Every structure is written in structure tokens, then in C-alpha cells.
Amino acid sequence: MKRVFSGVQPTGNIHIGNYLGAIRQFVELQEENECIYCIVDMHSITVPQNPKELRQHTLDVAALYLAVGIDPKKSIVFVQSDVPGHAELSWVLTCNSYTGELSRMTQFKDKSKGKESAPAGLFTYPILMAADILLYDADIVPVGNDQKQHIELCRDIAIRVNNKYKKTFVVPDGRFLKAGARIMALDDPSKKMSKSAENIYSRISLLDEPSKIKKSIMRATTDSEGSIRFDPENKPGVSNLLNIYSAFSGKEIPDIEKEYEGCGYGDFKKDLVEVTTQALAPIKERFNEIRQSDELIQILKDGAQRANAIAEKTMKRVKENFGLGLGV
């Protein structure tokens, strides 16, 4: 049995990019693996957050995890800041990382672009992510394609520490879906769909009302050619919509292209609204039940205890191998 770890930031409501790119595979993986799914709230404070909203979003993400089918009897579900080992290990790894490799991270470059000074946490974010993964001896890390570079860095750090000290960490493998799993912003298909983008119509959140889903899709950027064809380079907007259609309907893209041969974008978009709304409706319904229930906090409490038991073992090993502390 392999161990799986992944997390989502509570920076806002989960969108279909997070879901199709990462979270949907969390559910499948729990059948045959020991899975640990985290709400990575410490990552979210790399950019300013409103404390009240952050707590609400943390509970929302936890409820959404359960609503999409993560079963707390099979998987550990918890909040990152409830387990101190993440921050502790992060410091140890910071001392074994280089500013050069961190400067090459494209997410840091994107998020700090145009800013005179960026929070140091934005720069060291990939180290905290490496700590999240290595703390649990994870073998597999299911994430979206946008996280490939961070997983590579995590592997490099693990290998570096294992070579320098006694073998301390399991070197994890990323698990990425095929190229199409990267969902792009609806208003600008050159950017990935993101929770924190200013334009709310650039994304579809799992909890969006049908009217918001409709508006977002009907406004989505396409092109002037008028044919429904998958060609990400020349038709990024339409290709993104085809990806979403395929992911929610389970139909292959060539079959969808055939079905809509000769149709206009308006008809295609209308059907995509239908397909998306239908796919999200049961998730939203389960979310509303779970989010109200007292059970949610109890699940997160149990999850933190189980996660902490694993994390403490790893930190004991790390401290021993690094000569840290006296274990008193």
C-alpha cells in the first residue's frame, strides 16, 4: 500500500480547475492507498488574508473535500496549521535549499511580478510544500500540472538530504493527469484558472449558483473562427471549453467535436452550461449538508491527531539524523 499526500489552499472557493486537475483523483486514490489530504492554510498566508474569511474558507474546503467523496474513514483529512511538524520541518529544509533554485520557480516569478518587494513566504513556499510531503513519507503526490516544478524541487531536496545525512526521507513521485487537466481562465485562456483572480467570471467555483455558471461560460473568450475544434495553440479558449466538457461528460474530445460539427459557439456553450451545472449540483447539495454539521470539526480534529502521530515519528528521525535537540 502506497502513501499519498496532497493539499489545497483555503484561498477561496475551490474551482473546477482544482477539482478536475487534482481533487478528483484524490477520491480514486483512497481506494487502494493510505491517503492524507490537507487544507494548507499556512500556504495561503503567503498573500494577505482576512482572518475571519480564512477560517471560513478552511472549513469550506474541508466540507468540499468530503462532498466530492473523500471518506474520512479511509483518508486522513486535516488542517495544516494543526500539525506543528510542517513548520518545524520547513525550517530544516530551508537550511538545505538554495536561493538560486527557489528563484527559478515560475509560480514565484508570476506571483511577485511587478512588485517591488514580495513576502519572503512567497519565495520559500515550495519548501513548506516539500515539508508537507516529506513529513508523511509520501510515495505519491497527486497535483495539477502547474505543480510539476515544485514536486521536482521537493525530490531534489529529499535526495540532497538523504545523501548528506543518513537516509531520512522517502523520495516522492508526482502524479499528474494528462496535459488537458490544466484548466485555463475563462476570460483569458493563456492563464490558468485561479481562485484569487480578480475577475470572478474567469472561473467556475464548485459552489457557484447556476446563473453564475451560465454567465461565466457564456462570456468565455473564444475566437472568431466559429468552429468547435480542439487546437490549444490556435484556439485556446475553445480547447479549454472542450476540455471542461469532456471532463464533466466523460465523452472523448473527438466525439464532442463530431457532435458539434457545424454548430455555433452559442449552442455549444449552452450545452456546456447544462453539463457543468448537472455535474456540480450533487457536490453542492452534499456540501450544504456537511458544512452545517458538527461532525466536520470532529473529523478535522481526528484527522489532525492521526496526522500528528505520523509527523512526530518523522520529526524524531529528522532530529536524530541532524543532531537536533536532546529528545528531553
Q: Closer CB to ligand AQP, residue 2 or residue 319?
A: 2
- State yes or no: is 301 an active-site residue: no
Q: Closer CB to ligand AQP, residue 12 or residue 85?
A: 12
**323 in a known ligand binding site:** no
**10 in a known ligand binding site:** yes
Measured distance CA(227)–CA(88) in Å, rounded: 54
**115 in a known ligand binding site:** no
Angle value at C-alpha 280, between 52 and 19, nearest 5 degrees: 65
- State yes or no: is 284 an active-site residue: no
Measured distance CA(287)–CA(117) in Å, rounded: 39
- State yes or no: is 192 an active-site residue: yes
Helical residues (DSSP H) of 142-226, grouped into ranges:
148-164, 210-219
Cα-based distances in Å from 161 to 139, 187, 190? 17, 43, 37
Measured distance CA(12)–CA(218) in Å, rounded: 23
Q: Which stretch binds ligand AQP (CB under 6 A): 11-19, 209-217, 294-302, 303-311?
A: 11-19
Site string for ligand AQP, 190-209 (x = CB under 6 A): --xxxxx-------------
Which of 13, 21, 140, 307 binds ligand AQP (CB under 6 A)? It is 21
**33 in a known ligand binding site:** no
CB count within 10 Å of CB 55 equals: 14
Site string for ligand AQP, 150-189 (x = CB under 6 A): -------------------------------xxx------
Angle value at C-alpha 274, between 272 and 278, nearest 5 degrees: 120
**109 in a known ligand binding site:** no
Q: Which stretch binds ligand AQP (CB under 6 A): 15-23, 76-84, 94-102, 279-287?
A: 15-23
User: What phi and psi, each to the nearest 5 degrees, are found at residue 130?
Assistant: -65, -40
Instruction: Exactly one of 74, 111, 251, 319 is catalytic; name it.
Output: 111
Which of 72, 85, 126, 144 binds ligand AQP (CB under 6 A)? It is 144
For the record, the C-alpha cell of 198 comes out as 480578480
Could you say whether residue 147 binds ligand AQP (CB under 6 A)?
yes
Residue owning grid cell 513576502: 119
**17 in a known ligand binding site:** yes
Give Cβ neighbours of residue 303 (< 8 Å, ≥ 6 apart). Answer: 72, 76, 77, 78, 79
**132 in a known ligand binding site:** yes
Q: Closer CB to ligand AQP, residue 17 or residue 126?
A: 17
Check residue 208 and give left, alpha or beta (phi > 0: left; psi -120 to 50: alpha): beta
Sheet bearing 75-79, strands edge to edge: 75-79, 34-39, 3-8, 140-142, 173-175
Q: Closer CB to ligand AQP, residue 203 or residue 315?
A: 203
Give Cβ neighbours of residue 165 (< 8 Å, ≥ 6 apart). Answer: 321, 322
What minimum distance in Å lies between the beta carbon of 178 and ligand AQP? 11
Which of 138, 143, 151, 238 binds ligand AQP (CB under 6 A)? It is 143
Residue owning grid cell 513548506: 128
Site string for ligand AQP, 89-108 (x = CB under 6 A): --------------------
Q: Closer CB to ligand AQP, residue 97 or residue 240?
A: 240
Number of residues located near ligand AQP, criterion CB under 6 A: 19
- The footprint of ligand AQP (CB under 6 A) covers 8-9, 11, 17-18, 21-22, 143-144, 146-147, 181-183, 192-196
What are the catalytic residues? 111, 192, 195
